[in-house]
Amino acid sequence: MRFQGQLLLGGLLGIGALGCNGVGVDLPISAKQQSASQQSPSQNTVAPAATEPWRIDSARAMKYLRELVAFGPRPPGTPAQAKQQAYLRDKLKSDNLEEDKFKATTPVGDFEMTNFIAKFPGTTNDVIVIGSHYDTLSSVKNFVGANDGASSTGLLLELADQLRAHRHTGPAVWLVFFDGEEAFKTWTDTDSVYGSRHLAAKWKQDGTAKRIKAFILADMIGDADLNIDRDTASTPWLSDLVYKAATNLSRKSYFYNRQQPVGDDTTPFLAAGVPSVDIIDFDYGYNNVFWHTPQDTVDKLSPNSLQVVGDVILETVRLLGVETSKEKKQ
Ligand code: 1BN
Ligand code: ZN
């Protein structure tokens, strides 16, 4: 992948130098490095200078996250979710936005659900999909899903701002906002991941799945105490590539100190033969005590965690693009 105004070599040097203290030790993102801009995306449309690293604006991602949480609990079929959908529509309106609407049959009745797909063109037929679920759990009262739902959705909105501002070469990048990830009663194969099951089946049927070089899912990535698990159900080479990206950015200490299998929106894509990785921190509070509770609130989160995951995703996308151009030359 190559970005306008940023030659591949410049990109390699610029991004590779991020947060590195010269001895390869992981460092927190400094206040100076963070959020140069409190500016709106429309003010931020100029491609960066050749040596300027491509990084997310975590303060802006955090602002989106807070705005999502302010809608309150957002399960499918609720007025708050409809408001959230209008918000996503507005934010992504200039991004070749596709709405994938379908009817989901759940243990508590039928729901109209919508996946949103924002498409940023590249220069090859390949596609890299980056996903998040935007619904929140219905079965717990007052559950606002600051980490579980809003953190990754806020991050994807910020990635949209970045992709809009930096045209790139290599595979297209599609951002998918999944509906209906959460179970209505108990997590089973049939009561979970409604949106990703629908889209993976559709894309397998129409041939799109074959174009997807990689699916990178983010889920629960805002915890101030960030520890991304190695999901053993994910595609091993893609998990390794994420780790390489984290290493390039001197951020590997946040990754893979634990490993476990996680069922998530990656499951239907893996079944459809799409290489997929779940970037998830499934240890939210001591022993995961805040997961699926009303305590999943913004005060537990940190912009640094969004910064780490956002930058590692961008670096992974860049590495996938480098591979594509190598394959082409062979
Ligand atoms: C992640 C966030 N998940 C649900 N909300 C998926 C999941 C379900 C992960 C059960 C582990 C166990
Ligand atoms: Zn959940």
- Predicted confidence at residue 325, as pLDDT, reads 64
Mutate to test the pocket of ligand 1, among 264, 267, 276, 283 (most ligand atoms within 8 A of CB): 264
Residue 43 has pLDDT above 80, yes or no: no
- Predicted confidence at residue 330, as pLDDT, reads 55
* CA nearest ligand 1 atom 6, residue: 264
Tokens read off for 302: 């940190």
Q: Is any atom of ligand 1 closer than 6 Å to the C-beta of 237?
A: no
Q: What is the mean pLDDT of the chain?
A: 88
Rounded to 5 degrees, what are φ and ψ at 267?
-55, -50
For position 19, which CATH number holds? Answer: 3.40.630.10
What is the distance in A from the centroid of ligand 2 to the CA of 3? Answer: 34
Coil, helix or strand at residue 296: coil
Ligand nearest to the CA of 196: 1
Residue 40 has pLDDT above 70, yes or no: no
Q: Which domain holds residue 271?
A: 2-329
Sheet arrangement for strand 276-280: 98-106, 109-120, 172-178, 127-133, 212-219, 276-280
Rounded CA-CA distance 222/65 in Å is: 10
What is the distance in A from the centroid of ligand 2 to the CA of 81? Answer: 16
Mutate to test the pocket of ligand 1, among 223, 262, 288 (most ligand atoms within 8 A of CB): 262
Taking the CA atoms of the chain, what radius of gyration do you get in angstroms?
18
Q: Is any atom of ligand 1 closer than 6 Å to the C-beta of 220?
A: yes
Q: How many domains does the chain have?
A: 1
Residue 50 has pLDDT above 70, yes or no: no
In DSSP terms, which residues pair with 101 in a beta bridge? 114
Q: Is any atom of ligand 1 closer than 6 Å to the C-beta of 296?
A: no
Total-model pTM = 0.88
Residue 113 has pLDDT above 80, yes or no: yes
Q: Is any atom of ligand 1 closer than 6 Å to the C-beta of 187?
A: yes
Mutate to test the pocket of ligand 1, among 187, 229, 267, 276 (most ligand atoms within 8 A of CB): 187
Alpha helix positions (H), the chain: 8-16, 58-69, 79-91, 152-165, 194-205, 208-211, 236-248, 266-271, 303-329
**pLDDT digits over 222-260, tens only?**
999 999 999 999 999 999 999 999 999 999 999 999 999
Closest CA to 222 of 163, 275, 298, 167: 298
135 touches 75 (CB < 8 A): yes
Which residue carries 């991020």 as its tokens? 18
Give exposure, 24-40, as e/b (b: 16+ Cβ within 10 Å).
Answer: eebeebeeeebbeeeee
Rounded to 5 degrees, what are φ and ψ at 199?
-70, -40
Ligand nearest to the CA of 231: 1
Coil, helix or strand at residue 71: coil
What is the distance in A from the centroid of ligand 2 to the CA of 66? Answer: 18
What is the distance in A from the centroid of ligand 2 to the CA of 182? Answer: 6
**pLDDT digits over 234-243, tens only?**
999 999 999 9
Q: Is any atom of ligand 1 closer than 6 Å to the C-beta of 263?
A: yes
What is the distance in A from the centroid of ligand 2 to the CA of 114? Answer: 18
pLDDT grade for 107, boundaries at 50, 70 and 90? very high
Tell me the average pLDDT across 164-175: 95
The amino acid at residue 190 is T
Q: Is any atom of ligand 1 closer than 6 Å to the C-beta of 262?
A: yes
**pLDDT digits over 131-160, tens only?**
999 999 999 999 999 999 999 999 999 999
**pLDDT digits over 17-28, tens only?**
333 333 334 444
Ligand nearest to the CA of 263: 1
